[in-house]
Amino acid sequence: DISYIIRVCKVKVFISKSKEVFYMLKARNELATLKPYVPGKPIEDVMREFGLTEVIKLASNENPLGCSPVAKEAIIKHLDNLNLYPDGNCTSLKEKIAKLYSVSPSEVSLSSGSDEMCDLLSKTFLDHGDEVIMADITFPRYISTAVMMGAVPVIVPLKDFTFDIKGMADKVTDKTKLIWICNPNNPTGTMVPTSEIIELLDSVSEDVLVVLDEAYREFVTRDDYMMDSENLLSKYPNLVIMRTFSKAYGLAALRVGYILAASSIVTEIDKIRGPFNVNSLAQVAAYAALDDQDFIKKSYDVNKEGKEYIYKEFDAMNVPYAKSETNHIFFGVEKDAFSIFDALQRAGVIVRPMGAKHLRVSIGTMEQNKRFIELIKDML
Ligand SMILES: *Cc1c(COP(=O)(O)O)cnc(C)c1O
């Protein structure tokens, strides 16, 4: 009796290959308004869909140079150990990061990409009804993880595509628990000087967690950006600095990110994170990659050159864009952004539409940038 099985076991039951019966088990109320994250389209999907053999992906801010060769070597050396569980504490990597940034290993927490860290921070600190301050156009994981916990997102619009830090400070109430600052910001590429963040830290109580997402720090060219923001941790115990190996380090596939934060924060996260949340290939690759700062320098140079080339071309076409301190450029179009996205895709270049009038393009190799410009010139 299928209906009996469904009722008792609360499972999805397959009657045959063509007929599927679902038992709709009600999920937590908080999930009702959430939708799955939509990532940049994979190259294989676009090839299949449009019958293309060559596709350039400038949609997910990936490193067009790949990753450091020393990271690859480290992975190959580790391939004989796939039967073993990873070091759940990431001891070696943690110690290396701690040493590099002059913090204690107890002030470092690793995660499966900083994506997972958004999730872990929200699960660790957000109670139902807590307010979480964030920008309107920023990394989408901040809002989804807040909603997931039944917290209340407080959205502060960007000003000139840039974080309005004073506007955010004005929204702090006694219910505020967390403030997300993406600096520089994805998708607009803009940054705020660290001095503004220090003012915010001075104005909020220590009960408010301020998370500084520095996913793109390695690409910043301006000198009013504090590269060693970890030095603020001793003065502001409510500051969390979040970084990743996915962008400049080119290890997005491996999923490894981390925070630098007070050890009491790390201890709370340790209670709920998966015991082996960072796999061992990711650990050895990230460890090795930290030694290859030449690769980071090269990535920075290629990115800077590509950025200036795209600016020059956009200027010549009168395409409006936000000045970027990242590896992507947010630009405006008069036509419908989705139809431009679609046309580019058919021609083998994947970008990211951002609402009806904007798109985001990741900076690629010079050859990829030229292809993108060539196509968009025709379309606009
Ligand atoms: C890409 C990105 C991340 C996530 O990176 P992971 O691959 O999960 O480490 C975090 N924050 C911002 C702003 C990003 O753009």
Q: Is the CB of 244 under 6 A from ligand 1?
A: yes
**Closest atom of ligand 1 relative to the 116 alpha carbon:** 8
Among residues 261, 213, 222, the alpha carbon closest in space to that of 101 is found at 261
Tens of pLDDT, residues 226-268: 999 999 999 999 999 999 999 999 999 999 999 999 999 999 9
Q: Is the CB of 113 under 6 A from ligand 1?
A: yes
Residue 4 or 150, more confident: 150
Angle at CA of residue 304, ends 165 and 210, nearest 5°: 25
What is the best residue among 213, 255, 256 to mutate for testing ligand 1's pocket, by most ligand atoms within 8 Å of CB? 213
- Centre of ligand 1 from the C-alpha of residue 142, in Å: 11
**pLDDT value at position 17?**
58
pTM > 0.75 = yes
- Centre of ligand 1 from the C-alpha of residue 115, in Å: 6
* HSE of 164, CA atoms in CB hemisphere, 13 A: 15
Residue type at position 175: K
**pLDDT value at position 15?**
55
**Quick one: average pLDDT of 205-224?**
98
- Confidence grade of residue 380 (pLDDT, cut at 50, 70, 90): confident
**Closest atom of ligand 1 relative to the 139 alpha carbon:** 13
Tens of pLDDT, residues 72-95: 999 999 999 999 999 999 999 999
Residue in the structure block whose two tokens are 């190959």: 76
Q: Which residues does residue 259 pair with via DSSP β-bridges, in sequence order?
A: 109, 242
Task: Reply yes or no on whether the pLDDT at 214 is more than 80.
Answer: yes
Handedness of CA 206, 211, 214, 220 (dihedral sign): negative
**pLDDT value at position 176?**
98
